Amino acid sequence: MVKWKKKALELFPNLKIEIKEGIYSLFFELLPSVREAHKQNNKDELNKIYGFAEWCFNQKSHYYSNAAAVAFYEHLVDRDDTIKHLPYWVKPNDFKDLLDLFKWRLEKSKKKYIELVNNYNKVNKTKFH
């Protein structure tokens, strides 16, 4: 079994169909799950979701990292309810690597991009631009 599928089945056994369909389908299914977990302050679920995304993003396989970037992280900045939590869940090295993607995604709302970066810097004591 492929590494990501094995890991995903351990973390998200209730999403077998999405896992079978592929890593992109799984990440698209995890987006509403992460929003719900934030609403409920379900840290166990948040740790699973963000941990899986981080693991994929940091793999040597471009397939894994790209899936995490474009099917998960990129969409966290689409909604205010996830954008405000992002500084607390995305590690600085990953945030740095995702900055261009966030900037592109928020191109129509430069104010939101600036707010995201400023909030991230404040929470994480970083100096991203």
**Helices within the chain (DSSP H only):** 3-11, 16-21, 23-40, 43-57, 62-68, 74-76, 80-83, 86-89, 92-105, 110-124
Mean pLDDT confidence for 101-124: 96
Measured distance CA(20)–CA(9) in Å, rounded: 10
Mean pLDDT confidence for 7-18: 94
Instruction: Provide, rounded to the nearest whole percent, the portion of the chain with pLDDT above 70.
Output: 100
Structure tokens at 33: 């799950």
As a whole number of Å, the CA-based R_g of the chain is 14
Looking at residue 71, its pLDDT comes to 97
**42: burial class by Cβ within 10 Å (0-12, 13-18, 19+)?**
middle
Neighbouring CB atoms inside 10 A of 114's CB total 13
Total-model pTM: 0.94
Mean pLDDT confidence for 62-85: 96
pLDDT above 90 for 31: yes
DSSP state of 42: -
Task: Tell me the per-residue pLDDT of 77-94, one tens digit each, with 9 for 90 and over.
Answer: 999 999 999 999 999 999
Structure tokens at 53: 């995304």
pLDDT above 90 for 1: no
